[in-house]
Amino acid sequence: MLEHGGRLRLAAQRYSIPLADWVDLSTGINPQAWPVPPLAPEVWQRLPETDDGLEAAAAAYYGSTQLLPVAGSQAAIQALPACFAPGRVITLAPTYAEHPHAWRGHALTALPAADIDAAVGRADTLLLVQPNNPDGQRFSREQLLAWHADLAARGGRLIVDEAFLDAEPMASLVPLAGQPGLVVLRSVGKFFGLAGARVGFVFAETALLEKLADRLGPWAVSGPARAVTAAALADTAWQAAARAQLAADSQRLAALLDQHGLGGGAGTALFQWRPRPDAAHIHGQLAQQGILTRLFETPPGLRFGLPGNATEWARLAAALTRLRIL
């Protein structure tokens, strides 16, 4: 299995710090999650049903009825490559590692952002994360649509993973879903802070959604997860407040890192990326103080998620003050 953030128990064992004493900034998940209410007992007892309101809530929230609920966007990431004949696939480097890992049966090329435009004409599939994980790289809507038009005209496809885009919904390509050659993935794990529910959505043309549904089988999303997600997607007041809070906290985190010598890089509403040759050194120093960040080796860098409360902000600030930067 590939390495991911959130390995808090492993960090607790490695650094001999009790689990409860950690500040986990390694995942990019909203630390102030949507408040899950008690669920009716029948939600746990009955088999999931597709007319329970989840699809309608998702269509209203995302702006498209061309959708399929899946067990987290990870389920779609793993299933999508088998829905297409082996071909030439381009992805960004670096990017969320599960994407290139899933497309190993195809002719995969990972490119820096500056090289993608020149290579799209030779590709069958262009796979992007928008904004990119881990470095926050973004592509303009005009560029994405131009690439989609090129690929679709040749029977190819653009696949966009928008897992970190909920904080800026107007940038989404979901309303265009249903057009040939356009696939968009969404998740409730990041913005809503519901990663444990394992719920995501695929937006695409009907034939592909049907093929995916056949591969994933019935009851792909549990009844409790469906109920929680439908309620979260309908809570527009919480969403508006969360977007405002995340925007402020993201700016605060960027300024705090800059203040302590960790400038440069980029970020999103949910994380900050800092490319550094001494990333492993800084990661270790912070971990020794009970601050878990996400370390990347190629290219070397650190991803910082958002602290969730005043105590965590204070602990991060204190740990950064003690850093010995090479």
Arithmetic mean of pLDDT, 8-17:
92
Task: Look at residue 156 in the predicted model and tell me its pLDDT.
Answer: 98
Specify the CATH number for the domain of residue 316: 3.90.1150.10
In a domain, 194, yes or no: yes
Looking at 192, 210, 234, the residue that finishes a domain is 234
Please give the model's pTM, rounded to 2 decimal places.
0.95
Helix or strand (DSSP H, E) at 44 = helix 41-45
DSSP label at 123?
-
Q: Per-residue pLDDT for 1 more than 70?
A: no
Arithmetic mean of pLDDT, 61-75:
97
At 271, is the pLDDT very low, low, confident or very high (cuts 50, 70, 90)? Answer: very high
Q: Per-residue pLDDT for 255 more than 90?
A: yes
The one-letter code for the residue type at 95 is: T
For 243-252, write each residue's pLDDT tens digit: 999 999 999 9
> E strands of the chain, at which residues?
23-24, 67-70, 88-92, 107-111, 125-129, 157-161, 182-187, 200-203, 266-267, 271-275, 291-292, 294-297, 300-305
Q: Compute the C-alpha angle 209/74/270, nearest 5°.
A: 115
In a domain, 280, yes or no: yes
Residue 145: domain span: 41-234
At 2, is the pLDDT very low, low, confident or very high (cuts 50, 70, 90)? Answer: low
Dihedral in degrees, nearest 10, Cα atoms 240, 242, 244, 250 = -150
Task: Look at residue 7 in the predicted model and tell me its pLDDT.
Answer: 85
In a domain, 326, yes or no: no
Q: Per-residue pLDDT for 3 more than 70?
A: no
Same domain flag for 185 and 265: no
Same domain flag for 128 and 100: yes
What is the average pLDDT score of the chain?
96
DSSP label at 26?
S
Same domain flag for 193 and 309: no
Q: Per-residue pLDDT for 89 more than 90?
A: yes
For 97-143, write each residue's pLDDT tens digit: 999 999 999 999 999 999 999 999 999 999 999 999 999 999 999 99
Give the chain's domain count. Answer: 2
Dihedral in degrees, nearest 10, Cα atoms 281, 286, 291, 295 = -10
